[in-house]
Amino acid sequence: MKLLRYGEKEAERPGLLDDNGNLRDLSDIVSDIDGTTLTPDVLARLRKIDPNDLPRAAGNPRMGACVGKVGKLIGIGLNYSDHAAESGLPVPSEPIIFMKATTAISGPYDPVELPHSAQKTDWEVELAFVIGTRAKHVSEADALSHVAGYCICNDVSDRGWQIEREGQWMKGKSHDTFAPLGPWLVTADELEDPGSLDMTLDVNGTRRQDGSSSTLIFGIAHLVHYLSGFMTLEPGDVITTGTPPGVGLGMKPPVYLKHGDVMELAIAGLGRQQQTVTAI
């Protein structure tokens, strides 16, 4: 299934995309696409529904973030060896973890805000996964059974705030609109191999990132196992797994986003995003 949320911001309705690309409304079945919906029993119930029996959404509504009421938004840093190299940093011996504020989450086509004090804002196409079953100290062998599905995340990052200011990466990762999610959540049963997905990001029509999740240093199962040893992962938590090379920081000289830039992201099987950068 491709689950989604659509409508005005903070008033999104749950829906799904049928096999013909039509947006179908799930409001009579579930209240939202969130941790209460992404549990195995509810997903099993949704799979039994004939999408043709659901009403079609009218018009061309806004697409919201594909997951609502996210409890934790966890990032994994330097999870591609070639991205670590372009950043001038060693390949980590274990996953680097940081948090993004959940207030950074936005829709896949919403504008990305560029604050006046953010002078080094960068793009990062990433494969994200969403927890469907509570995970605490889980084995790597059992880890994927805790994943409800997968989606695209643009891990927008201001490098000045992230690297040059005191403290942790979180401040460079957490401004409003710095985490577009979607357009939809593809349930785990429909994604044959999350470890082999082509990933691209264009800025103003120029290809900047062209990679694959096959070059992840730490794969999905290991990340669930690893994270669950430090914190309990709850249904609806989102983990974004790192970016391949091609970010603005790694260019010589570095290139950063400016007002009016358009980012287009795609991951095989997970759809596409597009955001326009808007100075505030």
Residue 251 has, within 13 A of its CA and on its CB side, a CA count of 14
Cβ atoms of 222 and 53 closer than 8 Å:
no
The pLDDT value recorded for residue 192 is 85
Q: What rounded mean pLDDT belongs to the chain?
A: 96
Report residue 77's pLDDT band, with 50, 70 and 90 as the boundaries: very high
**Does the pLDDT at position 82 exceed 90?**
no
What are the pLDDT digits (tens) for 164-210? 998 889 999 999 999 999 999 999 999 989 999 999 999 999 999 99
Residue 251 confidence class, pLDDT cut points 50, 70, 90: very high
- In angstroms, the CA 128 to CA 226 distance is 16
pLDDT of residue 221: 97
Instruction: With residue 43 as reference, give the H or E element that holds it.
Output: helix 40-47
Region 70-79: what's the mean pLDDT?
96
Biggest CA pair distance of the chain: 54
pTM of the shown model: 0.96
Answer whether residue 21 shows pLDDT above 80: yes
How far, rounded to the nearest angstrom, does the alpha carbon of residue 100 sit from its chain's CA centroid? 11
pLDDT of residue 246: 96
- Give the mean pLDDT of 37-64: 97
What pLDDT shows up at residue 174? 98
Q: Which CATH class is domain 67-279?
A: alpha beta
Query: How confident is the model over 58-82, as a mean pLDDT?
Result: 95
Backbone phi, then psi, for 242, in 5-degree steps? Answer: 115, 165
For residue 91, pLDDT beyond 90: no
Q: What pLDDT, on a 0 to 100 scale, did the predictor assign at position 156? A: 98
Residue that wins the pLDDT comparison between 102 and 84: 102
Please tell me the distance from the alpha carbon of residue 44 to that of residue 47, in angstroms, as a whole number. 5
Q: Considering the chain, what percentage of its residues have pLDDT values greater than 70? A: 100
> Hey, how many other C-beta atoms are within 10 angstroms of the C-beta on 91?
13
pLDDT value at position 87?
78
Query: What per-residue confidence (pLDDT) applies to 238?
Result: 99
Q: Which of 57-66, 83-92, 157-166 is predicted least confidently?
A: 83-92
pLDDT of residue 8: 96
- Amino acid 86: pLDDT: 80
pLDDT band at 94 (very low <50, low <70, confident <90, very high): very high
